[in-house]
Structure 1
Amino acid sequence: MGWYQKLRQYFPPEEMKKKEQMEALLKQNPHYKKEETDSYIMLYGEYSDFIFVDYILVDKEKRGQGIGQRLLEELKAKGKTIILEVEPVDEDDPDTVKRERFYLSNGFKRTEHIRYYRDVGETSPELNRMELYYWSPQGEVDEEVIREQMVKAYEDIHHYQYEEYFDRWEPDPEKLIQYTPDAPEQQVHYLEQGDDHDPDQPQV
């Protein structure tokens, strides 16, 4: 089974890019990298001052052997801020609880003032609420900086050749990733094409 099929078996459709899009990223985007062994698959974007982790998948037969922790340590050794996106914790979904516990135990912090919605799914045009976690060799980092870095990764990776691979309008990452320290929680949703509102503006 190929690496893309393995990712599709594990990650929900709304978190998966199209296969052709990911292959183009690996061939044409110098920042995007893939590491693959029999034990794991990791895809990430590396920039001068930060790393964005796109996917990490450890083979189910190899879990519990510290592979995920080792991969994070290898990224930390590069001496750059690391950003990753995680499904919000759902107490009824043990996997989300374990995932958060894993990243927190490895020194990652969840951003408190970034409201983030993602649209990269192969099959779903809906916006998906995600949480951002980060680790930095400097410890605490201004979340406005994290937000700026994530916008760059979103534009460069999630929206790579977007119009070529998705038959829908391209939302603005500047609006999907917002630094809102004083704003109450709000729900963002897509507009249907043909709506009278600005199609680039997520509605709240």
Structure 2
Amino acid sequence: MNNIKDVPVPSYYRKLANYFPAHEMKHAHQLQALVEDVPYYGLMETGEYLVLYGDFAEFLFIDYLLVNRDQRGSGVGTRLLQRLQSRNIPILLEVEPIDPNDVDTKKRRRFYERNGFALAQGVQYEREDRHGESYTMDLLYWSPSQKISDDRVLHMMTTVCRRIHNYRAMQFYGRIPAQPEEVLSLVR
């Protein structure tokens, strides 16, 4: 049996790691195991974009979405989201809070808002990175029919934590990084 350190890092992981903050990145081999072993976890990669997502019966979860740098602003991301929205089930994703000192956070938020996503204002989501440093993520959702309640967003994100973020977590982190009862809460 191969030692986990001997397994090469997939090319899609390197692309994501060059764009996303380190604290938002899963362990390379956890992500690879999700892609290769989990039937509800998908990877779509073209010359224009890369998306990794959880495909559950009741909703989709966008784990990572990356439009190649030379394709940004051309409508590729919108067409991709429209393709996912055509499934006619809610879509959930995490995005960093807007940082006034980081124009990219504002651009990402505007992109999702232009494509019909709304902030789940009543759900707080705070995790720790690999080094135990706390960070907050906002949860955005899109629904084909109506506003989604905070309770439903919490339920969907609990599923994501258990079935994606914590997938084989003890093997890769030596701990459970996204225990729903600890990282998610309703703000009333």
Paired amino acid for 2:156: Q
2:132: which partner in 1?
125
Q: CA deviation at 1:175?
A: 2.2
Give the whole-Å Cα distance in 2 for the aligned partners of 1:135 and 1:94.
23
Which of 76, 80, 86 in structure 2 is aligned with 1:71? 80
Give the whole-Å Cα distance in 1 for the aligned partners of 2:178 and 2:41.
22
Paired amino acid for 1:101: R
Contact 1:13–1:124 (8 Å) recurs in 2: no
1:187: which partner in 2?
none
SS at match of 2:33: helix
CA deviations 1:134-189 (Å, max 9, x no partner) are: 000122111101111111011111111000001345552122111121xxxxxxxx
Give the whole-Å Cα distance in 1 for the aligned partners of 2:153 and 2:91.
9
SS at match of 1:69: helix
Contact 2:53–2:64 (8 Å) recurs in 1: yes
SS at match of 2:138: strand
Report whether the alignment pairs 1:37 with 2:46: yes
2:158: which partner in 1?
151
Q: What TM-score comes out, normalization by structure 2 length?
A: 0.90
1:54: which partner in 2?
63
Aligned-pair identity (%): 38
1:14: which partner in 2?
23
Name the count of aligned residue pairs. Answer: 179
CA deviations 1:16-50 (Å, max 9, x no partner) are: 11111111111211110000011110000011110
Per mean C-alpha deviation after superposition, the further-off stretch among 170-179 and 41-50 is 170-179
Give the whole-Å Cα distance in 2 for the aligned partners of 1:58 and 1:141.
27
SS at match of 1:128: strand
Contact 2:52–2:65 (8 Å) recurs in 1: yes
Give the whole-Å Cα distance in 2 for the aligned partners of 1:96 and 1:130.
12
Contact 1:116–1:132 (8 Å) recurs in 2: yes
Give the whole-Å Cα distance in 2 for the aligned partners of 1:29 and 1:126.
28
Paired amino acid for 1:70: R
Give the whole-Å Cα distance in 2 for the aligned partners of 1:104 and 1:23.
30
Q: 1:170 to 1:3 in 2, by over 3 A?
A: closer
Q: CA deviation at 1:117?
A: 1.2
Greater percentage in helix = 2
2:171: which partner in 1?
164
Q: CA deviation at 1:125?
A: 2.4
Give the whole-Å Cα distance in 1 for the aligned partners of 2:40 and 2:78.
23
Give the whole-Å Cα distance in 2 for the aligned partners of 1:169 and 1:46.
22
Q: 1:104 to 1:159 in 2, by over 3 A?
A: same
